[in-house]
Structures are given as structure tokens and as C-alpha cells.
Amino acid sequence: MRLTAVEVEAFRGFAQLERIDLDADAVVISGVNGVGKTSLFDAITWATSGEVPRLGAYRERKNEEVLVNRYRAGAEARVIVEARASNGQKLSISRTGTSLRGALVVEWGEQRFDGDAAQQCLAEAFEFDDHAQFVRALTDWGILRQDSMRAVLDAKPESFQDTLREMLGLQVLGRFEESVRSVASESSREAAGARANLSRVNVSVERATARLAAITARLADAPGASESRAALLSALGEDARVSATLPDPLGTPELRSWLHALREVRAEVEDIVSVTSALDARVRGVSGVISPDTDASRNAVDKATLTVETSSLAVAKAEALLRTAQAEADDRARLADAALRLLSDVCPVCGQSINEDHLRDHLQLQLADSEAGERINLIQREIDERREALRSAQGALEIAKREDERLQAVAAEIAAIEATRQRIQDRLEVLREPSRGVTVRCADMRREGAALLTLLDRVQLAAVSLLTALEASDLAAEEAAARQAAQAAGEQLTAATRTLEISSARELEAKSVLTASTAAAVDVTRDWLERLTPYFAEVFRRISPHPTFGRLGLSHDVYFGKGRSLPRVYDDLREIDANPNIIFSEGQLSVVALSFFLAFALFARSQELPFVILDDPMQFMDDRNVLGFTDLCRMLRSKRQLLITSHDQRFSELLVRKLEPRLPDQTTLHLRFESWDREGPRIERSHLVSPVLPFVLAGVA
């Protein structure tokens, strides 16, 4: 397959329709910068792939139009690429549209296709499986732009291999590895879930086993149920009142509830018996007192109180008389005392000396013996009598009060006894309810209470015995259920263990495959790159841009679990190697980039493009490297249709000279992009003829 022509209109630098012949095995395109050389390659790229990837980065907006010629605004770009297969069959690839939408039409021989069918036809015409593969080959190694290959070289070490992988179509290895990683993660989650489940099931098994053991132990100690039932009925038979309360049917919960009620009744009866006994004692305490006359005792108290009050009044009255008599006596004494102080030491009458103390005693004696003194004494005796009467009245009052209090207390006790008796009656009324079944009168309680308690005790004992027996029979069912549960838990344990074994095995296998996948991806990539290394080296050696580092290759290692490849150049004489990015000049690095690109373009895949487009590959090279490169191009044209541009006049002339046809089947086309104006490039075309060159050395001995 060879590209034979391109028609371009309203596309990039081409405003007007331009048909450009490409029907040669070497096409040299020369011209200064900005005259439309790159637009021509963009046209080929767009027509065949539907995009121009390099322009994507320059868009200011997503919907910015970047393909339609600026002087043909509103028009649609149109590019037709024509090619011819080795059997002569013609291929026409026509795309019309804008950068936002385009319509592809492919004519392959007599057939015409559009849409997806056109893409598939295009891929198959170039012997690719699908259009995506064809586009990847075209953009990765069909068209070399110096900057894109240098970008690969300039990439960080860890991404260099990724780029090479992508160019080799080995990204499928990465996708495989990711898919295995996903499976490994999923299997790890499953295994973790299975481990957690096994742990839960283990706990269930332990619980079920422990429960079964406990029930089995209780079951071993349980008495027979039928004997216990008969014993209960027998005990109940003695008292129909209580037996009537027995629930029917009589299951364990009913019996347990009934027994609880029975215990309450028993406690109540016991309390009532106790209270009744205490009441009897109290009744005995007030026996004989039919109806205490508390009114009479109250009257007696009132009467005694009145007597005390009267006596007190009489005493007070006598005491007042006494105080009056004593006051009179005191007045006389003071008068006598004043008279004594008026006396001289000598009697004026007799002239004898007067003894005052003797006279004072005498006067007091006279006063005491006087009528006033007698009266005082009389009053004093009366007071004493009345006081005696008062004490007597007070004693009588005290006795009356005590009697009254006693009778009041007896009356209160009788009332309390009556109240207690009423409360007992009320409690017995409660016990008489159908659910309790105890009908005893309060009056009979003293006689029947003890027997009733004995009966209740006996019934209670039989009920407990029956309850134990019933629980024992429930235990048997419970034990069967527990045994079943333990067995089910055991089966769950077996299943969970098996699930965990399977999950763990899967997890282990997935991890193992993941580790192997990572290693295998590294190995395959390394193997592929090592198989390509001779081609890198071959291209590099032909140009030989460095005096000592004469061999190009790749080094491989695994860095943080990821395969890594780095370009290396080797000085075999001194056995030194280095990363060319670090030690090479720009021109020398251009040769390195070109070596990788051409190796990929020529040898990388079984599905290869029939052409190689080199867009200004010599721009950083010095003269010697340019000469080496042009020598390489002379060999390259026999492998691929070669389309090569240069903006440098000198290099263009060199290319034209070097790529002149020298063999009968070679054709060379020189497209000279002379200038550019608003209509598009001005292109001079010249077919270089194959001169008949005699051998210079012919005839030389």
C-alpha cells in the first residue's frame, strides 16, 4: 500500500482546493516554517483517524473549531487521501466536516462505505484488525514529530516504560494485571467475610454445645412427671376449694403461675393466722369489759376538778387574809422600831439608862402576844386546813383521771380489735375469690388456720414436685431441640470452614496470580523491548552520533513492584553506560529519539503502516548526524514509503540529492512549499528521475 495523493480544501493552512501528488516511494517536502507542510500531515491524520491529537492541547474551549481554514469560516473542511495497494486496487479515504463532526467515506476498489463500515474497511485495507489499532499505529509511529518523541524520552523514568508499552500495544498487560488485582481484592474480601462468618459460627457452636450440656445435666436430675401429678391431685383432693383453682390444661407455665399464686395465698393465710392470733390475745386482754362507761368516768373527773378548783380558791382567800394580818403586824413593828430610835439612852422620867435591845425584845414579845398575832395564827391554821382539803381534792381528781384514761384505752382497744377483725374479714373476702379458693370465716381462722396452712404447704410441695417433673419433661424436648441446634451449628461450622477453605484458596491463588501477573507483565515487556533492542541499536549505530557511547539499548528493573525501563547508551570499550537524557546533547538525543521511533515503526508489530512520515526530523542535528541520517533514509525507503520534511534549505537539498532514484523501481517526489498566502500554500512539484549512473569503478583493476 502506498499513499498516492491528497486533496485538501478549507483545512488548516489550505483554503482553496489543492491536490498533492504523493505517488513515490520517497517524498521530500521542503519549505520554510509556516508554509503548510505540517498541515498536509494533519490532513492525512484527520482523514484517516478523524482527529488531530496534537491540536487538542491548544483548544481554548471544547467546541473551538481548530481544523477549518480561518478564511473559509462556515465551510466544511474536506480531505481526500488516495492510496494504492500492491495489487493495484485503489483506496480513497474522504472526510468532510469540522473538528466537532466529520463524515467518512471510504471507497475500496468498486465498493463504497461510510460510517463504521468505512472505518472498518479502512483498517482492513491497511491490514489492521480494527480502526482503533490503525489510529494508534498512525499516531504512535506512523508520523514522527520531533517534539512528541522527545516528550517520550523526557518522561519521568517510571512512565517511560508505560509509554513504550503503549506504543507496543502492551497496555493490554496492564489491563490484565488490573483485572487480576480486582479479582484478588474481591477474593480477599470474600475470604475476610468467610473468616468473620466462621468466627460467628464458632461462637454459635460453642453456645449450642454449652446449652445442650446444661440441659442434659438438668435432665439427669429430674423426677418423673406422672407420679408428681398424682401426688398433687392427691394433695388437692383434701380440699376441693383449692383444687378448683388448678388450671386446665396444666402445662409448665400454667403450673408455674399457679404455684406462684399459691405461694402468695399461703403467705397471706399465714399472715392472717398470725394477725388473728395476735387479735385473740388482745381480745383476751379486754375480756369482761362489755361496754366501758366512759361518760361516767368523764363526769367524775369533771366533779373532782371542780372540787380542786374550789379548794384552791379557799386556800387563796385565807392566804390573802394572812397577808393582810401580817401587814398590820409589820406596821406596828415598824412603829415600835421608830419609837425606839426616838428614845434617848437615859429615861427622861427615871433617869435610868435604857437598854435598847432589851426593850426591842420586849416590844416584839408584846406584839406577838397581841390580838393581831392571835388572828394571824388563826388564819394560818385555816390555811393549813384548806390546803389539806385541796390536796385531798387533787388526789381524788388524779384517781378520776386515771380511771377515765383506762376506760378510754379499753374503748380504743375494743375499736381497734373490731377494725382488725374487719380487715381480716376483708382479706378473707379477697382469698375467697375463685382464683384463690380459700373460704374461711374470720371467726373460724383460729381453728382452721393451722390446718389450712398445712394443706397449702402440702399442696405447694406437690406442685413444686410436679413443676420440676414438668420442667424435666420440657427439658427433654428442649434437649432434643438443643441437640438439633448443636447439630445444625456443627453443620454450619463445617460449611463455613469449607467456604473459608475455598475462599482462602481462591485468595491465595488470586494473590499468587497477581504477583505472577505483575512479574509476567514485566517479563513480557522486557522480552519485547529486548527483542526490539537490536533495532534501536541498529538505527543508532548507523548514525552514530557520539564518539564513545556507540551503542543504544534499554535497561530494565523492577522499582516499587513495577517494571521500569530506561534508555541507556554504552561505551563498550570502557564498559560504561549512561542515561542519554543526562549526557547527550539535543542533537544526539534527537538521534536517540529517532532510533526508538524507527525501530517501532519498522519492527514493532506484525501490523505495520506502509508509510513513515518524518516531520522535520533533523532540526537539532549537526552536519555529520544529518549525513548519517540521510544515508539511513536511503535504506529506509526500501522498507516503507517515506515522507520527510525539512524547513532547512541546505538539508532539503541534501535530502533531494541523497534520495534521487538510483534503482529502476525507485521514484522520488520533491514537493517544494514555496510560500503561503490566504488561499493556501504555493507548491512546486518535481519528479526526480532515475539517472542511468555508470559504475565509476567499472574497469578499475
- Which residues are near another protein by CB under 8 A? 168-170, 172-173, 175-176, 179-180, 182-183, 187, 506, 509-510, 512-513, 515-517, 519-521, 523-524, 527-528, 531-532, 534-535, 538, 541-542, 547-548, 572-573, 602-606, 623-624, 627-628, 631-632, 634-636, 638-639, 657-658, 660, 662-663, 691, 693-697, 700
**Beta bridge mates, 104:** 95
Question: Which is closer to another protein, CB of 34 or CB of 169?
Answer: 169
Question: Which is closer to another protein, CB of 360 or CB of 639?
Answer: 639
- Residue-wise burial string across 571-596, b where 16 or more C-beta atoms lie within 10 A, e elsewhere: eeeeeeeeebbeebeebbbbbbbbbb
Question: Which is closer to another protein, CB of 363 or CB of 602?
Answer: 602
Contacts by 49-52, CB closer than 8 A, 24 or more apart:
49/134, 49/135, 49/138, 49/139, 50/95, 50/102, 50/104, 50/135, 51/135, 52/99
The Cα 695–Cα 28 span in angstroms is: 26
CB of 493 to another protein, least distance (A): 26
Question: Which is closer to another protein, CB of 187 or CB of 204?
Answer: 187
CB of 598 to another protein, least distance (A): 9
Question: Which is closer to another protein, CB of 506 or CB of 556?
Answer: 506
Question: Which is closer to another protein, CB of 35 or CB of 168?
Answer: 168
Q: Cell for 680? A: 493556501
Q: DSSP readout, 517-585?
A: HHHHHHHHHHHHHHHHHHHHHHHHHHH--SSS--EEEEEEEEETTEEEEEEEEEETTTTEEE-HHHH--
Question: Which is closer to another protein, CB of 501 or CB of 572?
Answer: 572
**Beta bridge mates, 96:** 78, 103
Question: Which is closer to another protein, CB of 592 or CB of 632?
Answer: 632
Question: Which is closer to another protein, CB of 468 or CB of 668?
Answer: 668
The Cα 674–Cα 676 span in angstroms is: 7
CB of 176 to another protein, least distance (A): 5
Q: Which residues contact 358 (CB under 8 A, 6 or more apart)?
A: none
CB of 123 to another protein, least distance (A): 17
Question: Which is closer to another protein, CB of 427 or CB of 511?
Answer: 511
CB of 636 to another protein, least distance (A): 7
Question: Which is closer to another protein, CB of 584 or CB of 676?
Answer: 584
CB of 604 to another protein, least distance (A): 7
Map grid coordinates 574497469 to a residue: 699
CB of 188 to another protein, least distance (A): 12
**Beta bridge mates, 128:** none
User: Phi/psi of residue 611, each to 5°?
Assistant: -135, 160
CB of 511 to another protein, least distance (A): 10
Which residue type does 50 have?
A: G
**Beta bridge mates, 566:** 555
CB of 21 to another protein, least distance (A): 23
Q: Cell for 168? A: 507496543
- How many residues would you count in the chain? 701
CB of 501 to another protein, least distance (A): 16
CB of 158 to another protein, least distance (A): 21
Question: Which is closer to another protein, CB of 421 or CB of 542?
Answer: 542
Q: DSSP readout, 652-672?
A: HHHHHHHTS--STT--EEEEE
CB of 33 to another protein, least distance (A): 26
Question: Which is closer to another protein, CB of 182 or CB of 487?
Answer: 182
CA-based R_g, the chain, Å: 68
Q: DSSP readout, 262-293?
A: HHHHHHHHHHHHHHHHHHHHHHHHTTT-SS--
CB of 36 to another protein, least distance (A): 29
Helices H, strands E: what count in the chain? 18, 15
Map grid coordinates 374487719 to a residue: 422
CB of 27 to another protein, least distance (A): 19
Distance set, CA 157 to CA 167, 224, 420, 649 (Å): 16, 87, 106, 37
Please, what is the end-to-end C-alpha distance for the chain in angstroms? Answer: 43
Question: Which is closer to another protein, CB of 171 or CB of 274?
Answer: 171
Please count the CA atoms within 13 angstroms of the CA of 55 that sit on its side-chain side.
Answer: 21
Question: Which is closer to another protein, CB of 20 or CB of 612?
Answer: 612
**Beta bridge mates, 18:** 8
CB of 8 to another protein, least distance (A): 32
The Cα 443–Cα 449 span in angstroms is: 10
Cβ(309)–Cβ(389) below 8 Å? no
DSSP state of 693: P
